[in-house]
Copies of this chain bind each other. A is one copy, B any other.
Amino acid sequence: MSNGGGAPSSTTHLLDFLEEPIPGVGTYDDFHTIDWVREKCKDRERHRKINSKKKESAWEFTKSLYDAWSGWLVVTLTGLASGALAGLIDIAADWMNDLKEGVCLSALWFNHEQCCWTSNETTFAERDKCPQWKSWAELILGQAEGPGSYIMNYFMYIYWALSFAFLAVCLVKVFAPYACGSGIPEIKTILSGFIIRGYLGKWTLMIKTITLVLAVASGLSLGKEGPLVHVACCCGNIFSYLFPKYSKNEAKKREVRRRGTVVICAFQPSALSLLQVSYYFPLKTLWRSFFAALVAAFVLRSINPFGNSRLVLFYVEYHTPWYLFELIPFILLGVFGGLWGSTRFGKYPVLEVILVAAITAVVAFPNPYTRQNTSELIKELFTDCGPLETSQLCQYRSQMTGNDAGPGVYSAMWQLCLALIFKIIMTIFTFGLKVPSGLFIPSMAIGAIAGRIVGIAMEQLAYYHHDWFLFKEWCEVGADCITPGLYAMVGAAACLGGVTRMTVSLVVIVFELTGGLEYIVPLMAAVMTSKWVGDAFGREGIYESHIRLNGYPFLDAKEEFTHTTLAREVMRPRRSDPPLAVMTQDDMTVEELQATINETSYNGFPVIVSKESQRLVGFALRRDITIAIENARRKQEGILPNSRVYFTQHAPTLPADSPRPLKLRSILDMSPFTVTDHTPMEIVVDIFRKLGLRQCLVTHNGRLLGIITKKDILRHMAQMANQDPESIMFN
């Protein structure tokens, strides 16, 4: 072998040429996967350069300080921006939502609640009737009561809802098609190393922010939490371009984006599930992300201090303990959550936004539980009835003991049942629409409604049949032994768990951290049941199935690979395939190289010592080879089609009349990952996940046998799960 280990080069002019980076080498095409190891090395290289220069001058020292601080700066900026945006979206959506019902004459920019602050009515029932706030009927017809004004209000409600929906869908369609949906499946894929240009750009950010407000205000059954994650990621991405540390490195960029993701934990803890995305990030990023989340929460609270603060969305306190027997309805709620979680959403993307918005508006208006803001609805359902509660749900005959249902509770029950059916149907249809839409809040609302219905039913059962053996022991006559609000919370947790398929403990923690420690067991029972039922209908959550439908190459970190296949059964080429396309280190010409590239569509080629020995030298990327040859043709003289290409340290000895050889060692990856053909696939999958590889070479007793790429692994996993591997189309 001519290339001994790596003796220092003696031909300095060659070395000089190599030092000069070839433009374009090391970048990626759209819809390709990045190489985490390479990107990390690049970053460390840059870091070392800055550190070694640091002592040269004051200017270099300042630059190094700036570099060290830029991580904190990006985090803080991302936190500030996404907190501010979330606050603005909150305020705007609230205001526009109230605009459907009326305006505040004293100050047009006030929403209903703000408008009525100055008035003295403080109770919930009287809240609606402050003089400054005019419903549309009052404004246009001049009268507040009567069937005419009801129809007028109804009409205006539908009119505004349709306008908002129309505007939202137009904006998305014309300016930023990437702004639709929740964005979480795509972000998961991007974070795992896939490149989708423009998905986190400034246009997407702007349009998503605006259309999110419009979509929420239009009353469609969707949540703003999922899209907020996308907004925060866009912020992180945009700020990362301000810092050379991040803008030039795909892996570092992902760190920032991930932080953006976590920022949203400040607003809604479900984004925690995104943390499970990948192993490639150091834990430092995780804590830094939490810091960004704190900043964002701080900003959000400063901007919108009077809004229904998301930070304590779930905060409730119940005063009665729960009883063992109640586990039965809790488990039933879990079954409901699991069934809800296995519903297939997004199958109806053809249905038009306007149609759905119109139906939503027409059906939602007459029912107070569907007309209401969804977050407020959840809050009301969670709340326990006390002597001060004036909601319809708490109109019991006797205010003191409060469990003999009055007419208010009965009518509320009917309305809740209708609202449940309506919400289920509309949420299924809404999720496929081309507007920004999340699924958390609607799912929780559905769970909370179902839970409250079950809770009230249980309560009445216990009241009228308190001598049953079941209730006898713990439920005294007239005592307050069942808390319908707790049932609502359990139902919400079950549905959230079912839809997102987060770890059971995660759901429980999310709910417990905001409440207390008393209700671990009911929550656990419901969430675990929901997970089991959901898994029985298909193991993947809504995002995983979305990722699979879109054919993104996403290797889930959660899923364990449990089959016994070995690397040699997964690697390419298969037995019937043509042999692996390889390059030899010093006996191919430029022409032969290009022929190999043109004949195949592979993204990279292993470089070997010789065809006979099949000993592996390194790995070269298709894109890099193409760029390097083109570059050499333009800049180096004497490169002809029959020029010899060599990847070794020193040029091979050539006949005197041969043209100038082309050295490509600089684009050769000298440390490709290899596994033996006997390596179990579970280990290979582990390596791919943890190190973020794009490909891995397979050897047997030191000979190159084949290659395994991320897509091969995904195809193999689909095959093992009895899915048609050909149905998986990669973009």
Mark A287-320 against chain B: 1 for CB-CB distance below 8 A, else 0. 1101100110110010000000000000000000
Residue of B nearest to A678 (CB): B670
A691 at the interface (CB under 8 A from B): yes
A509 at the interface (CB under 8 A from B): yes
Q: Are the CB atoms of A562 and B47 closer together than 8 Å?
A: yes
- In the assembled complex, the CB of A362 is this many whole angstroms from the nearest CB of chain B, namely 42
Q: Are the CB atoms of A298 and B702 closer together than 8 Å?
A: no
Residues of A498-543 at the interface with B, using a CB-CB cut-off of 8 Å, are: 503, 505-506, 508-509, 512, 517, 520
Q: Are the CB atoms of A609 and B702 closer together than 8 Å?
A: yes
- In the assembled complex, the CB of A269 is this many whole angstroms from the nearest CB of chain B, namely 12
Greatest chain B CB density within 10 A among A47, A301, A676 is at A676
A329 at the interface (CB under 8 A from B): no
A672 is contacted by which of B47, B288, B298, B676 (Cβ under 8 Å)? B676
Residues of A566-613 at the interface with B, using a CB-CB cut-off of 8 Å, are: 567-568, 609, 613
A695 at the interface (CB under 8 A from B): no
Mark A425-445 against chain B: 1 for CB-CB distance below 8 A, else 0. 000000000000000000000
Which residues of the other chain, B, contact A478 by a CB distance below 8 angstroms?
Answer: none
From A244-252, A374-382, A449-457, A682-690, give the one contacting chain B: A682-690
Q: Are the CB atoms of A503 and B288 closer together than 8 Å?
A: yes
A703 at the interface (CB under 8 A from B): yes
Bound CA span A297–B700, Å? 53
Which residues of the other chain, B, contact A508 by a CB distance below 8 angstroms?
Answer: 291, 294
Bound CA span A702–B617, Å? 8
Bound CA span A615–B704, Å? 11
A631 at the interface (CB under 8 A from B): no
- In the assembled complex, the CB of A314 is this many whole angstroms from the nearest CB of chain B, namely 15
Residue of B nearest to A558 (CB): B284
CB within 8 Å for A509 and B291 given contacts A44-B562, A702-B609? yes
Bound CA span A1–B609, Å? 19
A686 is contacted by which of B1, B40, B509 (Cβ under 8 Å)? B40
Which residues of the other chain, B, contact A3 by a CB distance below 8 angstroms?
Answer: 701
Which residues of the other chain, B, contact A88 by a CB distance below 8 angstroms?
Answer: none
The quantity of this chain's copies bound in the complex is: 2
A680 at the interface (CB under 8 A from B): yes
A85 at the interface (CB under 8 A from B): no
Q: Are the CB atoms of A691 and B701 closer together than 8 Å?
A: no
- In the assembled complex, the CB of A213 is this many whole angstroms from the nearest CB of chain B, namely 25
Bound CA span A276–B283, Å? 7
A564 at the interface (CB under 8 A from B): yes
Bound CA span A593–B40, Å? 42
CB within 8 Å for A676 and B670 given contacts A613-B702, A699-B702? yes
Bound CA span A201–B212, Å? 57
A275 at the interface (CB under 8 A from B): yes
Which residues of the other chain, B, contact A704 by a CB distance below 8 angstroms?
Answer: 702
Q: Are the CB atoms of B671 and A37 closer together than 8 Å?
A: no
- In the assembled complex, the CB of A283 is this many whole angstroms from the nearest CB of chain B, namely 5
A655 at the interface (CB under 8 A from B): no
Bound CA span A287–B501, Å? 14
Q: Are the CB atoms of B683 and A294 closer together than 8 Å?
A: no
Q: Are the CB atoms of A683 and B48 closer together than 8 Å?
A: no
A509 is contacted by which of B48, B290, B690, B702 (Cβ under 8 Å)? B290
Q: Are the CB atoms of A568 and B41 closer together than 8 Å?
A: no
Residues of A73-100 at the interface with B, using a CB-CB cut-off of 8 Å, are: none
Bound CA span A701–B671, Å? 10
- In the assembled complex, the CB of A182 is this many whole angstroms from the nearest CB of chain B, namely 22
Q: Are the CB atoms of B562 and A48 closer together than 8 Å?
A: yes
Q: Are the CB atoms of A701 and B41 closer together than 8 Å?
A: no
Which residues of the other chain, B, contact A703 by a CB distance below 8 angstroms?
Answer: 615, 702
Bound CA span A503–B6, Å? 40
- Beyond A291-B509, A294-B508, A671-B675, 8 extra complex contacts between A and B, CB < 8 Å: A37-B686, A44-B682, A288-B505, A301-B517, A616-B701, A618-B676, A671-B678, A674-B699
Which residues does A use to contact B, with CB under 8 Å?
1, 3, 5-6, 37, 40-41, 44, 47-48, 51, 275-276, 279, 282-284, 287-288, 290-291, 294-295, 297-298, 301, 503, 505-506, 508-509, 512, 517, 520, 557-558, 560, 562, 564, 567-568, 609, 613-618, 670-672, 674-680, 682-683, 686-687, 690-691, 699-704
Give 24 pairs: A residue, B residue, CB < 8 Å, sorted on A. Answer: A1-B701, A3-B701, A5-B700, A41-B680, A41-B683, A44-B560, A48-B562, A48-B564, A276-B283, A284-B503, A284-B558, A287-B505, A287-B509, A291-B508, A295-B520, A297-B517, A609-B702, A670-B676, A671-B676, A671-B678, A671-B683, A672-B676, A674-B699, A687-B691
